[in-house]
Amino acid sequence: MTAYTATVTVRLKRGVLDPEAETTQQALERLGFELSDLRSADVFELDLDADSAADAGDRAEEMAERLLANPTIHDYEVDVTETA
Amino acid sequence: MTAYTATVTVRLKRGVLDPEAETTQQALERLGFELSDLRSADVFELDLDADSAADAGDRAEEMAERLLANPTIHDYEVDVTETA
């Protein structure tokens, strides 16, 4: 068994309203910053022991499907690295 | 001016309690998943026009300092890519 870190990035699908990002962008603009868009995402870094990177990725993907992301409104991405 | 995307990742500093991550980890364990640790982070993807990647990075860093991160409890990382 090897220790892996799986990074799950959960983003809202295109077209889903993101009031938090909108408010953050307006606050930055009020501070004088210029930006054309701002998107927010949630990241979960999971430390887990697995036989291979592929196995760690599969398990992280299952966790994303079952709990971390809501498939109706979210897209997610899984990225696995060996823990240093 | 070129269009850049600056990705600002905001993490809690080591030692700062993260009840959201703890609850998420417990929920995953209740579903039968095994993991040794879970950390959560917020990511802001900022689209902005700048003269250079360094300039875009500087501005994103200033936004992190002034609004996106709380230096008392957060560490942040800025990563700049040219928007495709």
- Domains of chain B by residue range: 2-82
Interface TM-score (ipTM) > 0.90: no
**Cβ-based contacts of A57 with chain B (< 8 Å):** none
- Locate the DSSP E strands across A20-84: 37-50, 74-82
At A53 the pLDDT is: 96
At A7 the pLDDT is: 97
pLDDT exceeds 90 at position A60: yes
Residues 37-76 (A) with a CB less than 8 A from some CB of B: 37-49, 59, 62-63, 66-68
Joined tokens for residue A17: 């309203």
**CB under 8 Å, gap of 24 or more: what pairs does A17-23 form?**
A21/B44
Determine what percent of chain A is predicted with pLDDT higher than 70. Answer: 100
Test B43 with A46 for CB contact under 8 angstroms: no
Q: Render pLDDT for A9-57 as a digit per residue (tens, 0 to 9).
A: 999 999 999 999 999 999 999 999 999 999 999 999 999 999 999 999 9
Q: Are strands B37-50 and A74-82 parallel, antiparallel or unpaired?
A: unpaired
Test B46 with A35 for CB contact under 8 angstroms: yes
- By Cβ distance, the residue of A9, A28, A63 closest to B33 is A63
Joined tokens for residue B38: 């879970």
Cα A53 → chain centroid: 18
Joined tokens for residue B3: 């269009």
Joined tokens for residue B26: 């417990």
Helix (H, G, I), strand (E, B), or coil: what is residue A70? coil
Pick the CATH number of B2-82 from 3.30.310.10, 3.90.550.10, 3.30.1280.10, 3.40.640.10: 3.30.1280.10
